[in-house]
Amino acid sequence: MRILTTSTAVLLFLGSTLVVGSPLTQRDFAISKAESLQSRPTVAYDANHDRFLVTWTDARDRATNGGDIYGRIIDVRGKPVSGDFPIARGKGGQGTSAVAFDPLNNRYLVVWADWRNATNVDSDIYARLVNADGTLHGKEFPITGRRISQKQPAVAFDPAHRRFLVVWKDDRGKEAEQLYGRLIDTRGQLLADELKVAKGAGKQDRPSLHYDPKRKRFLVVWRDIVDEHQFLTTPLNGKGIFAALIDPERGPQGPGNLIDTEEDACLPPSLYAAAYAPGADLFLAVWTTARDYQKSAPDGKRTMGLDVYGAFVRADNGKRQGRAFPIAVGADYQEFPSVAYDPNQDRFLVIWYDLRRDARAVNQDVYGRYITPKGKLTDEFLISDFQSPGIRRYPAIAFSPKSNTSLVLWEDSRHKTTTTHSQRIYGRVR
């Protein structure tokens, strides 16, 4: 089956028959219909039951708790298996969740930044196990609770050693804004000491974590920058996008490797993501770049813009293979990329939010593009409903090999009115 998308319809060729519309290209749907401010979706795939857990930050109890972490089980057709349920509702607020699935025990580990102990803006990293049916397993527990700020957690599962790895941004000590991590077993017990992911003089943040089943170790991708408040004027001097390998038994395998050294290669508050292709033994890392922040318009005037770039990272040594290459470089802004690997077609699907139809940023869409491990790119295609107004951002994606479908998620403001500021998490199965 080959999918082609225009600005008005999705056309599927099944044999020699042209079909407009399909269960796999259904309309956008709301993950939760609660009238609340919902943001920052994340998703993990349950291979045992062929379905997904979606988590997000939800402000339905904002008057008493601040933001909370909610979740819902969704099947591969986009239908809910459970109701939406609270995962973390502590005082002070919770946000920026991440989730990974343990297929050995049929449980997810959900992690998030938590302000229940905050004195000012400090946050801790907390976690909770969730069963495959959406019921909660045990209580919430802290992964790190030092009296400084920890935030931006990422998580992945290692089935060979039966443990999770959580990585986060940490503001401890003189080397503020460094990446730290910790191993956790399948019962939620903390293992060994916290580990420092990489050494460097710059500020490190926005980690993205992924597992290599061949070598039974992790790859972490992050941004390393001298001063994020001067990112448009200060040369990076060797800073940019980094990647490092982490062995569950021996810890970080070196200080990390530069993936992109372009000045202004990474622009806050973007996301950095990667996915693994076992046949090619490569990761694909994607990020937002400001290298063409001021572009030349057809009339000769300078316009502002951001692009999505990518690079292949070798799983054997964590180094970049080939050059960084453009993925989305249209007019205006393309930002917040995410990526998943399709083993059935041996290709990556990269998604991002895109301002091409409205430079005022009133209307934004989610676009995508397939990339093979050899670097061949298909045409860009629209994923979200082009006819619906609103802002769509922070897309997330997970892939089901059994059903050969992807679940794409994003924040969506189409229900925002003059009397309500509700913003929901929407999705589409393709």
What mean pLDDT do residues 207-221 have? 95
225 lies in some domain: yes
Taking 60 as the threshold, does the pLDDT of residue 238 lie above it?
Answer: no
Per-residue pLDDT tens digits for 13-64: 223 222 223 334 478 999 998 988 999 999 999 999 999 999 999 998 876 6
Taking 60 as the threshold, does the pLDDT of residue 229 lie above it?
Answer: no
The SS3 of residue 46 is: strand
What are the backbone dihedrals phi and psi of residue 24, each rounded to the nearest 5 degrees, phi first?
Answer: -85, -10
Please give the Cα distance from 176 to 173 (Å, whole number). 6
Per-residue pLDDT tens digits for 294-326: 555 555 555 567 889 999 999 999 999 999 999
Residue 186 tokens read as 């399948």
Q: What is the pTM of this model?
A: 0.88
45 lies in some domain: yes
pLDDT of residue 145: 64
User: Domain with 198 in it: what CATH number?
Assistant: 2.130.10.10
158 lies in some domain: yes
Please give the Cα distance from 332 to 304 (Å, whole number). 6
303 lies in some domain: yes
Residue 338 tokens read as 């995410």
297 lies in some domain: yes
387 lies in some domain: yes
Domain limits for position 71: 30-429
Per-residue pLDDT tens digits for 350-377: 999 998 877 666 778 999 999 999 999 9
> Which carries the bigger pLDDT value, residue 77 or residue 297?
77
pLDDT of residue 122: 79
332 lies in some domain: yes
Structural domains in the chain (count): 1
Percent over 70 (pLDDT), the chain: 79
Per-residue pLDDT tens digits for 139-183: 999 998 677 788 899 999 999 999 999 999 988 766 668 899 999
417 lies in some domain: yes
